[in-house]
Amino acid sequence: MGGYSGDAPAEFLLIFKTGLFDAAKTFLVTDWLAHIPFSVLQKNFGVTGTNKFGNIPSKQLYIFPGEAPADDPVAPENPQGEIPNPFVYAWSQDPIDHFDGGSVRIVDSSTFKASINFAAAEVTLEPGAMRELHWHTTADEWSFFLEGDCRFSVFTETAARTYDMSPGDVGYVPISAGHYVENIGNTTARFLEITDSDQFEDISLTQWLALTPPEIVKAHFGVDDETVGSLSKTKNRVVPGNK
């Protein structure tokens, strides 16, 4: 359960590990209690009187209006103590990795201890910049585009597909599939990369080639020593547009 106390409309993203999510099959406590006899509810909660759990909604509540919570709500004290790994995390306060052309901010179980099934990166791209060619060896990726116009390209062993993405669009990258995202608009683009893993891990194509014996790289791609020597041996998750 959750609530919102702001003055403007809010948006939030729900991510599920299963690809078979159905809102109609979500467990809702109001729907459950609507199917429990009133006497059983009172016995269970140890209360009496018609005004105690006598106004349970007859239908489930999914998104509904309510009273705004206090500005500084205090959670009930738990006699069992606090949980060791809280289920909320202030990702916005984490440091940002800045690159020439954009930025990346990562959250995974190394900082958000309770997040053992998901990791994510918030990526910004300046016009013309791109999220470098890379792949993930441990997880599929689910991309959600928040701002700007991007080109999203995915290569697998059976197909290559390229799409133009706008805010609200979603992309999917199978595990080990090569992909990139390029800002094709005139404003800063922002999107989320979400993986079903406890650590955010990626393989940079540029770094991989730079750390491969040069003769192998030259034989595969027909490039010269100068080109191989110019490849970055450190990971640059964002690369700038042409200047």
Query: What is the CATH classification number for the domain harbouring 97?
Result: 2.60.120.10
* Residue 225 within a domain: yes
- List the catalytic residue out of 193, 201, 215, 226: 193
Q: Which domain holds residue 127?
A: 91-239
**Are 124 and 237 in contact, with CB atoms under 8 Å apart?**
no
Mark whether 126 is an active-site residue. Answer: no
Can you give the pLDDT at residue 179? 98
Return the DSSP state at 150: E
Question: Domain total for the chain?
Answer: 1
Query: What global pTM score does this model have?
Result: 0.85
Longest Cα pair distance anywhere in the chain, in angstroms?
Answer: 85
What's the burial of 192, exposed, middle or buried (CB within 10 Å: 0-12/13-18/19+)?
A: middle
pLDDT above 70 (res 195): yes
Asked whether residue 220 is marked as a ligand-binding residue, the answer is no
Write down the mean pLDDT value for the chain.
Answer: 90
pLDDT above 80 (res 212): yes
* Residue 155 within a domain: yes
The letter for the amino acid at 217 is: V
Contacts of 54 (CB under 8 A, 6+ apart): 38
pLDDT above 80 (res 6): no
Asked whether residue 147 is marked as a ligand-binding residue, the answer is no
Average pLDDT over residues 68-86: 83
Asked whether residue 179 is marked as a ligand-binding residue, the answer is yes
Three-state DSSP class for residue 206: helix
Can you give the pLDDT at residue 14? 82
Average pLDDT over residues 147-173: 96
* Residue 221 within a domain: yes
Beta strand pairing status for 170-173 and 141-147? antiparallel
Asked whether residue 141 is marked as a ligand-binding residue, the answer is yes
Can you give the pLDDT at residue 2? 57
Can you give the pLDDT at residue 217? 97
Can you give the pLDDT at residue 28? 84
